Amino acid sequence: MLVDVLIVLVKVVLTLTWTLLLALFLTWVERKQSAVMQDRIGANRASVFGLRLFGLFQPFADAIKMLFKEDFVPSFSQRFLHWLAPAISFFFVAVTMVAVPFGDAVRLFGRRIPLQVADLNAALLFVLAMLSLGIYGILIGGWASRNRFALIGSLRGAAQIISYEVALGLSLVGLIMVFPSLRLSKIVEFQGGTLFGFLPKWGIFLQPLGFAVFFLAGLAETKRVPFDLPEGESEIIGFYTEYGGLKFGLFMFADFLEVIVLSSLAVTLFFGGWQVPWLGGLKLAPWAVTVLQVLAFNLKVFFFCWLQVLVRWTYPRFRYDQLMDFGWKVLVPLGVVNILVTGLVLALR
């Protein structure tokens, strides 16, 4: 029993450490990607012992600055809720990673150890529920600040996430019809092998429309450009108007964690997860297989994180009415069509 608890604790620490370090690295990627697209150098002044390393120390400098900045709390705000809001946003996004499989199960000392914190039977529902609960941090933050502009931003965020949760859920129904399981590890296992002898049996090839709806709805869930209506810098500043220091940093860090969560889900559900196609005939040592699986999963996640940064610095944001119309009049109908087409194909198969 004690060994099982220790194994879970180690997996929690490793998963949380990997996620936080990747989120920290994404802040550097965001700066450099925007600089490349705008013909600039980007942040490169932070250094250690004179070493700049292309500005890789900048995220750590930003983190230190956030820790030591003044913690401003408006005198007219709800102080406890003002503190609680960023913690809620951060927690519910971070906890979704416990259900994500980083590789196939390994055997150590006679024990079968899954490379995920919790192999839940309803992992997909758990992830969707946790992502939905994160909106409470935004709502509480906007209301507790007692700032009308922050409140407007939080209400926009709630409307946006509720709207796009519908499209996100519909996009996954077709996938569940094809891969009849809610366990993320099982969904990855279903994607092993090939179609027609050469095409990976990934969700993207079985559910292309479902992936398109999922990814677009997921971009809206991250609340980043072109779906950054809760922030709306040119209009209302956003729900964290009255936040600064560490609490503001938690809100911003939660945004980058959402990018990682969306990328991890896209890879797990539609791109084979840790599966590497066309290598089934290779005879590799068990440790080499595990390393290859974890490396493949991480490389896929890195690609989708970079893709989201690219989208963020390429497109202008929607107006509020355009955002709502796109969610309810485009993505939701496409999600329903995808379900009907998938059901028809399965019935005629």
pLDDT reported for residue 236: 60
Q: What is the pLDDT of residues 281-305, one digit of tens each?
A: 678 888 899 999 999 999 999 999 9
Q: Is the pLDDT of residue 271 over 80?
A: yes
pLDDT reported for residue 128: 94
- Strand spans (E) along the chain: 106-108, 111-113, 194-195, 199-200
Please list, in sequence order, all residues whose beta carbon lies within 8 angstroms of the beta carbon of residue 156, skipping any fewer than 6 positions away.
Answer: 229, 230, 232, 320
As a whole number, mean pLDDT of residues 121-130 equals 95
Measure Cα distances from 259 to 29, 133, 304, 323 in Å.
12, 16, 9, 19
pLDDT reported for residue 8: 92
Q: Which of 203, 215, 200 is nearest to 175 (CA)?
A: 203
Angle at the Cα of 331 from the Cα atoms of 330 and 332, rounded to 5 degrees = 100
pLDDT reported for residue 152: 87
- Count the domains in the chain: 1
Q: Is residue 282 part of a domain?
A: no
Q: Which of 95, 221, 216 is nearest to 157 (CA)?
A: 221
Q: What span, in angstroms and rounded, lies between the C-alpha atoms of 314 and 81? A: 36
Look up the pTM and report it: 0.95
Q: Is the pLDDT of residue 235 over 70?
A: no
Q: Which of 206-215, 259-268, 275-284, 287-296 has the lowest mean pLDDT?
A: 275-284
| Assigned token pair, 262 | 């969306």
Q: Is the pLDDT of residue 3 over 70?
A: yes
Q: What span, in angstroms and rounded, lies between the C-alpha atoms of 23 and 20? A: 5
Q: Which of 55-64, 231-240, 298-307 has the lowest mean pLDDT?
A: 231-240
Q: What is the pLDDT of residues 95-112, one digit of tens each?
A: 999 999 999 999 887 888
As a whole number, mean pLDDT of residues 152-180 equals 93
Q: Which of 104-108, 272-276, 342-346 has the lowest mean pLDDT?
A: 104-108
Q: Which of 225, 211, 339, 221 is nearest to 270 (CA)?
A: 211
Range picked from 151-165, 191-205, 249-263 for highest mean pLDDT: 249-263
Q: What is the pLDDT of residues 242-264, one digit of tens each?
A: 898 899 999 999 999 999 999 99
Q: Where in the sequence is the domain holding 143, given as residue range(s)?
A: 1-277+287-348
Exposure string of 218-252, with b = 16+ CB inside 10 Å and e = fewer, is: bbbbbbbbbbbbbbbeeebbbbbbbbebebbbbbb
pLDDT reported for residue 149: 87
Average pLDDT, the chain: 92
Q: Is the pLDDT of residue 234 over 70?
A: no
Q: What span, in angstroms and rounded, lies between the C-alpha atoms of 92 and 165? A: 15
pLDDT reported for residue 94: 95
Task: Label residue 217 by pLDDT band (50, 70, 90).
Answer: very high
pLDDT reported for residue 198: 85
Strand partners, 48: 51
As a whole number, mean pLDDT of residues 326-336 equals 97
Q: Is residue 199 part of a domain?
A: yes
pLDDT reported for residue 53: 86
The share of the chain scoring above pLDDT 70, in percent, equals 98
Q: What span, in angstroms and rounded, lies between the C-alpha atoms of 290 and 119? A: 17
Q: Is the pLDDT of residue 233 over 90?
A: no
As a whole number, mean pLDDT of residues 46-66 equals 88
